[in-house]
Amino acid sequence: MHDCIVIGGGSAGLGAALYAARFSLDTILIAPDMGGTGNIAHKVDNWIGDPGITGIDLMQKFIKHVEEYKVPMINETVTKIEKTAEGFKVTTNKSEYAGKTVIYSTGMKHRKLGIPGEDKLQGKGVSYCYTCDAHFFKDKVVGVVGGGDSAGLGTLLLSTIAKKVYVLYRGDRIRAEPITTEEVYKLENENVKVIPNVNVTEVLGEKTVTGVKLDNGEELALEGLFIEIGANPINELVKELNVEMDDRGFIKVDKTMTTNVDGFYAAGDITNNSTLKQFITSASEGSIAAQTIYMYLRGKK
């Protein structure tokens, strides 16, 4: 039986695995994709000491560091977590693992609009990741749905690649970080147009995106649509454990990353601990969870 099973391979999970290994805990890390959504970050300017690094390069540094501590990184998908007398049984699509404790760090998944044409044209002009797909739309006309940080940053990147960028937002004014918001509105003099107080009701096109319908009755011709309306916590696996969550579905933790379930910890974007969902905060939470487990297991000896 392992001392600790880390579920999730992003910055929180990798940070947790590193610190657990440094505390000499028998640890394994399970995730379908090491690096997680960190792999798709276009540019990371706020990782202290390494400005401008790409997300995938930063995650590769994390992974290499964890490898140096001989932590098994298992590329499998967790399908079930069960509480046992000794700790937890973690079932994946390929195997089963037993651990005294679990650090759950699965992060979030992108929200969808849930409108006609969205699923059919996903990957055919509909994207949920501007950092992954922006380069496919060089000199094309695209739309960005949303008004938060993700939509704002996506607009700034796309403005350097696409011919024209329409920002489609249900509110009066986009609400990204002040600096980002200011930069977006400055670009209205160039190739960006913000269309407020509208909702997209349908994505048009057969084989590729050709446009969208808006709830004001208008149609807008587009060659690509970036849906940047936030993300939901990936919490399905913990519901049967009766782990407490807030009204948004984020796992409730205290300052030590402890949940209401004995031996079960959470870290990173999945928690309600911080509204600042960044690499640096996620890695920090992972390391704190590992230290908490070390103290927890030492106290049980």
132 is catalytic: yes
The letter for the amino acid at 273 is N
Are 89 and 98 in contact by the 8 Å Cβ rule? The answer is yes
Token reading at 220: 């807008």
DSSP string, 41-70: -S-BS-STT-TTB-HHHHHHHHHHHHHTTT
Q: Exactly one of 133, 172, 247, 254 is catalytic; which is it? A: 133
Tell me, yes or no, if 129 is annotated catalytic.
yes
Residue 144 has phi, psi (to 5 degrees) of -120, 125
Half-sphere exposure for 75 (CA within 13 Å, toward CB): 5
Q: Kindly name the residue from 129, 215, 254, 269 that is annotated as catalytic.
A: 129
- Residues sharing a CB contact under 8 Å with residue 48, sequence separation 6 or more, in sequence order: 280
The catalytically annotated residue of 132, 139, 246, 247 is 132
| CA–CA distance, 286 with 8 (Å, rounded to integer) | 11
Catalytic status, residue 133: yes
Residues annotated as catalytic are: 129, 132-133
